Amino acid sequence: MGQGLPVGPAGTISSGARGEMVAVKGGETFVGTDDPVISADGEGPARKVSLQDFYLETETVTVRRFAEFVEATGHVTESERFGSSAVFAPLVADPRLAKRSVIETPWWTRIDDATWRQPEGPGSSIDDRLDHPVTQISWNDAVAFAQWVGGRLPTEAEWEHAARGGNRRRRYPWGEDEPTDDAIFCNIWQGRFPDTNTLQDGYFGTAPVRSFAPNEAGFYNLAGNVWEWTADPFKVRSLSKQAKVRNENAKRFSDKVLKGGSFLCHKSYCYRYRIAARMGLSPDSASSNTGFRVAYDAMSRDNHGL
């Protein structure tokens, strides 16, 4: 979309309705953990940060809201411009569409014409998931939507602060209880990835944005369901050779941080639905399991702050 506010088809500045949000008190807090599980991702050590008060929407942006944005502005997503996108192969109804698998992760495939309108490619539809998180959305698409509603993407520290419910130590948005194939707190994989999903949580792909109980602050699905884009560039704070190489690649592709894990995470494969877990992707990337939620500066919400 380029810089500035999105414009409608007639060239006039347009703005969209904000979603339900929660006021988050800032102050001295931290980001990361001193007990990293996947050190190579840069989960630790914990770093002290100071945050301003801010607002964060209680849920990820839905298919319905994103459709309203596209209708109002004429926005064309990057996956639409590229002509293809990454899809979790078992979601594809017609296996003939899955032509280009990723060697290291064969459960991912690139599907022609996979977009937010048809997330698994031709023949798929959003009609029955308007209240699900919109997917096949790049960082650039997410930024364009956030500008449209007068907001922005949260920083990694803001996202973690909201997920923890403030300056306190906890592994998950709901506390310390470990999700299992029987103890269901969020939409992640149950069974043996990627061969068998027992569907104990009721979902094979994404779930509606208000599925499962919110954390005490009122935020839904900060763990699992879809990865959430943040405003921050991806960087591993380590002096190791591995970190140096990863940081060079991240800088080369302008990678951004995503948080929260997705419906594909399982402790045996992708234990990244913890608050401190993170992932980096280039800002033009999109897939079956990436979405976003919107943050706002406190003074942009009203003239009186929090």
In a domain, residue 10? The reply is: no
At 78, list the tokens: 């990057």
Domain that holds residue 175: 21-301
In a domain, residue 251? The reply is: yes
The pLDDT tens digits of the residues spanning 67-109 come to 999 999 999 999 999 999 999 999 998 878 877 666 678 899 9
CB 15 within 8 A of CB 146: no
In a domain, residue 11? The reply is: no
CATH of the domain at 185: 3.90.1580.10
In degrees, rounded to 5, the angle at the alpha carbon of residue 84 between the alpha carbons of residues 81 and 85 is 110
Could you give the maximum distance between any two Cα atoms of the chain, in Å? 56
The pLDDT tens digits of the residues spanning 203-261 come to 999 999 999 999 999 999 999 999 999 999 999 999 899 999 999 999 999 999 999 99
Q: Is 199 left (phi over 0), alpha (psi -120 to 50) or beta?
A: left
Residue type, 186: C
More confident residue, 299 or 153: 153
More confident residue, 51 or 7: 51
Please report the DSSP string for 115-157 in residue order: -SSSTTSTT--STT-TTSBP-S--HHHHHHHHHHTT-BPPPHH
In a domain, residue 268? The reply is: yes
In a domain, residue 306? The reply is: no
**Which whole-number Å values give the CA distances from 180 to 32, 145, 149, 202, 203, in the listed order?**
23, 35, 37, 14, 15
**What value does the mean pLDDT of the chain take?**
92
pLDDT of 7 above 70: no
In a domain, residue 264? The reply is: yes
When divided into structural domains, the chain yields a total of 1
User: What local confidence, expressed as pLDDT, does residue 106 receive?
Assistant: 87
In a domain, residue 6? The reply is: no
What is d(CA 213, CA 124) in angstroms, rounded to the nearest whole number? 29
In a domain, residue 116? The reply is: yes
DSSP element (H, E) containing 51? strand 47-51
What is d(CA 286, CA 229) in angstroms, rounded to the nearest whole number? 11
